[in-house]
Amino acid sequence: MTASNTTLAQPAELKSRLGAILRSTSGNFLEQFDFFLFGFYATAISKAFFPPGNDTNALLLTFTTFWLGALMRPLGAIFLGAYIDRIGRRKGLIVTLAIMALGTVFIAVCPTYASIGIAAPIIVLIGRLLQGFSAGVELGGVSVYLFEISTPGNRGFYTSFQSASQQVAIFVAALLGFFLSEVMPADQVAAWGWRIPFFVGCLIVPFIFVLRRSLEETPAFLAMKKHPTASEIFASAAVNWKIIVLGMFLAAMTTVTFYFVTVYTPTFGKNVLKLSTQDSLLVTLAVAVTNFIWNPVGGALSDRIGRRPVLLAISGLALVTAYPALLWLTANPTFGKMLAVEMLFSFYFGMYSGTMLGALVEIVPAHVRTTCFSLAFALAAALFGTFTPLASTWLIEHTADRASPGFWLMFAAASGFLATLAIYRGGGQTVEAPKPVPA
């Protein structure tokens, strides 16, 4: 091929890779769209599906349901992750989308507690369990797919779009919520209007299926001479339990910070800071935009200077500033102060997440990449990330300190800092250098 032919081929190759990023991350959109809606409309959901009488208890039950769904993530990571490592990235991502869509429909159409009693929270819980089972491997499957189609020297940048794509979902969900709050009375939104965004999520499922079906298998998976069986995958994951546990703590800061600045922010703004619904949603919109920007910046920076310095710097800053920042905010809450603090946390999340995703894919064994990555990330989400709204609500309720969620953020930052030191204890770039991916 001549130099001129190479030059002419580059735009087509770039277009192909951009298309692959869009198709692979489309399922992320649906997952985070529904996750955010569940958090934002937590108050309305608690009144619709749980026994009346005590608003705080109902809200705690709602966030508990949210968290119990996340406990299914490790199971999804193990079983669906093994499925994807065995049959391929493309087919596996289509299966996860189908399970996720079913969970969304369950929540969208479930009758209220006043209509069917205890069956209502049970149906909602089943929907959340299905979503959690699917989410257990969705993020890992997409991250591995992006890593394996990336070009050498840009793996962090490519992989960061797994997280960046989720921010588009947060932005769309927040924008839709803001629109509803403007055109509908608050009592109507609380009574039934909150279901509208969930139905929108159901309506976009067929479009995402079309995108996912057009995915091509990754060159790295096709190049494998042997694809391990399920029993071999489980055995390998068990052997590599140490790196999975370290990966879980590495991902803890990503998941905790993410759920704080997105899912919990609207509830924190309305119920704790006593700001308006519109103010909380505007802050969330801004967070979604900056999250989208900082993720690829973090990934690209880590490609240039290494994963270790970025992870240590960001987790260290978060460790010493999380509680003071929230203390400053809660002393005299205003829209401007909430925006400033959330922008700071958004910077921490985006830079750390954009770096962490590439790091986590690199340190797990290639032949069980999806299973090990998904299990580490799923454990972090289940035990730390999705526990954030519940932990924050509980801390505020039992300490009477509105800034107390900062302690939870500090714990997550310390986990990330120490895990980074353990993983990169030799000072190298990765524990296991990734194999080159054929173009």
pLDDT tens for residues 17-61? 677 777 777 767 777 787 677 767 877 888 888 888 777 788 788
Q: Which of 31-35, 141-145, 280-284, 322-326 has the lowest mean pLDDT?
A: 31-35
Q: Is the pLDDT of residue 104 over 70?
A: yes
pLDDT of residue 431: 44
| Residue written as token pair 């990023």 | 21
**Residues with Cβ within 8 Å of residue 35, at least 6 apart in sequence:** 131, 135, 263
Q: Is the pLDDT of residue 287 over 50?
A: yes
What number is the average pLDDT over the span 83-94?
71
Neighbours of 295 (CB within 10 A): 28
pLDDT confidence of 12, banded at 50, 70, 90? low
pLDDT of residue 175: 84
pLDDT of residue 439: 33
Cα–Cα dist 77/132, whole Å: 10
What number is the average pLDDT over the span 103-122?
88
pLDDT of residue 356: 94
Q: Is the pLDDT of residue 438 over 80?
A: no
Q: Give φ, ψ of 154 to 5 degrees.
A: -130, 25
What number is the average pLDDT over the span 84-91?
70
Cα–Cα dist 101/199, whole Å: 11
Alpha helices in 41-160 (DSSP H): 42-49, 55-70, 73-87, 89-109, 113-116, 119-149, 155-159
Q: Is the pLDDT of residue 1 over 60?
A: no
pLDDT of residue 435: 39
pLDDT of residue 432: 43
Q: Which of 160-174, 329-343, 352-366 has the lowest mean pLDDT?
A: 160-174
Q: Is the pLDDT of residue 342 over 90?
A: yes
Q: Which of 70-74, 157-161, 222-226 has the lowest mean pLDDT?
A: 222-226
pLDDT confidence of 295, banded at 50, 70, 90? very high
Q: Which of 8-12, 191-195, 224-228, 384-388 has the lowest mean pLDDT?
A: 8-12
What number is the average pLDDT over the span 266-287?
86
For 163-218, write each residue's pLDDT tens digit. Answer: 888 888 888 887 888 888 888 888 888 888 888 888 888 888 888 777 777 767 66
What number is the average pLDDT over the span 378-383?
87
Q: Determine the straight-line distance between the first and last CA of the chain, rounded to whole angstroms.
A: 15
Per-domain residue ranges of the chain: 20-215+229-423
User: Which residue has better confidence, 6 or 428?
Assistant: 428
Cα–Cα dist 311/80, whole Å: 29
What b/e string do you get for 416-435 counting C-beta neighbours within 10 Å, with b at 16 or more?
Answer: bbebbeebbeeeeebbeebe
Q: Give φ, ψ of 215 to 5 degrees.
A: -65, 145
CATH of the domain spanning 20-215+229-423: 1.20.1250.20
pLDDT of residue 228: 65
Q: Is the pLDDT of residue 7 over 50?
A: no
User: Which residue has better confidence, 178 or 393?
Assistant: 393
Q: Is the pLDDT of residue 97 over 70?
A: yes
pLDDT of residue 340: 96
Give this prediction's pTM.
0.77
| Residue written as token pair 């951009």 | 18
Q: Is the pLDDT of residue 11 over 60?
A: no
pLDDT of residue 4: 39
pLDDT of residue 436: 35
Identify how many contiguous H helices and E strands the chain contains and give both numbers. 22, 0
Cα–Cα dist 106/130, whole Å: 9
